[in-house]
Homo-oligomer: A and B are copies of this chain.
Amino acid sequence: MKIYTAHPGHHIEGLARRDAERPPLGPRDVRVRMRAVTLNYRDLMVVSGNYGLGSDPVVPVSDGAGEVIAVGDDVQRFAVGDRVMGSFFPDWTEGEPDAWKTKAALGGSRPGVLAEEVVLDQDAWVRTPAHLNFAEAAALPCAGVTAWNALFESGPWRPGERVLLLGTGGVSIWALQLAHAGGLETVITSSSDAKLERARALGADHVVNYLSHPEWDRKVLEATRGEGVHRVVEVGGKGTLPRSVTTLRPGGALALVGGFAGFDGAIGPMSLMIGAKRAFGVFVGSRKMLEDLARFVEARALRPVVDTTFDFDDARAAYAHLESGRHFGKVAVAVG
């Protein structure tokens, strides 16, 4: 079978397509013929050598969807023909994270899904929403679950609350769609008016161009009657943290997601203390969150925004497109 390997520190040029042995199938394993994967900023960090992996080549990419082609003797959850997605942390089925559950991560400490076939324990797979194609379904495991976790899993919330989304990358656009469908009032920022128009079409209630308004936190406060937002999905970027905290109303929450630009600066403890605000790290999420996300996506017939789908042979071009920042939503690669 064909796979890709990434060589940490060798950048996009280090991505190589090669032949590999089919992995063996244990009694609880499920073998999946991958049909599509999607990329995350983390995949750029892996090839650039900034993800804390060693220097050996790895099979990259965490997010993929495909079709079950074989199951082990003890497998009860799936059958041949099922359409499935892999879970980012294959050992984190549900509940709070711990060191044990988050040790293995696809496309990192464990081989990824940029390969024709992938074998994982039955507990690491989830059925895809019926109305999605494979590229769309491949958008759920990391970016979708991260957005879900940032919005709905950390602390109580109520429909009608206000949430701020920064930029139009994969997690932010997912968060926009989920927040809108979940009854939240949304504010989103971008440097592009064109992208803001697209965001409005996806349900954004308020849009702010942070190039035209470098003090965008003030615009967010204006848009929310001076009250501020209940939650920010903070994907990083230059100088965003203090402004994000400023936009929070008392008791508001900062979901720390990270992203392409990394975080710039740190969180002043007094800025959280006054107003009883909070910040929490979002470490992707569990299989249970992926299942809950899939149910919601299906119930509301949400379609993740896939910017472009590249051919399997053009995986490097897909990485380069993601790196360019020109995308809106997810960048995908079809597998075979």
Contact = CB atoms under 8 A, between A and B. Distances in A.
Interface of A: 27, 93-99, 102, 152, 154-156, 158-162, 178, 181-185, 205, 234, 236, 241, 249-251, 256-258, 262-263, 265-270, 272-283, 288, 292-293, 295-300
A303 to B, nearest CB: 15
Contact of A98 (B97, B234, B251): B251
B266 A276 contact: no
Contacts of A158: 152, 292, 296
A154 B253 CA distance: 12
Given A159-B152, A274-B281, A98 B299 contact: no
A13 to B, nearest CB: 27
A8 B270 CA distance: 21
Given A276-B97, A281-B275, A292-B158, A267 B270 contact: no
Given A97-B250, A185-B299, A277 B281 contact: yes
A302 to B, nearest CB: 10
A27 B185 CA distance: 36
Contacts of A161: 295
A274 B263 CA distance: 13
B292 A281 contact: no
Nearest to A257: B273
Nearest to A96: B251
Contact of A95 (B102, B265, B280, B288): B288
Given A267-B269, A288-B95, A183 B300 contact: yes
A61 to B, nearest CB: 20
Contact of A299 (B183, B267, B279): B183
B160 A249 contact: no
Contacts of A234: 269
A144 to B, nearest CB: 12
A159 to B, nearest CB: 4
11 contacts: A93-B94, A96-B276, A97-B276, A154-B278, A158-B292, A182-B182, A256-B272, A274-B281, A275-B283, A277-B281, A279-B280
B181 A102 contact: no
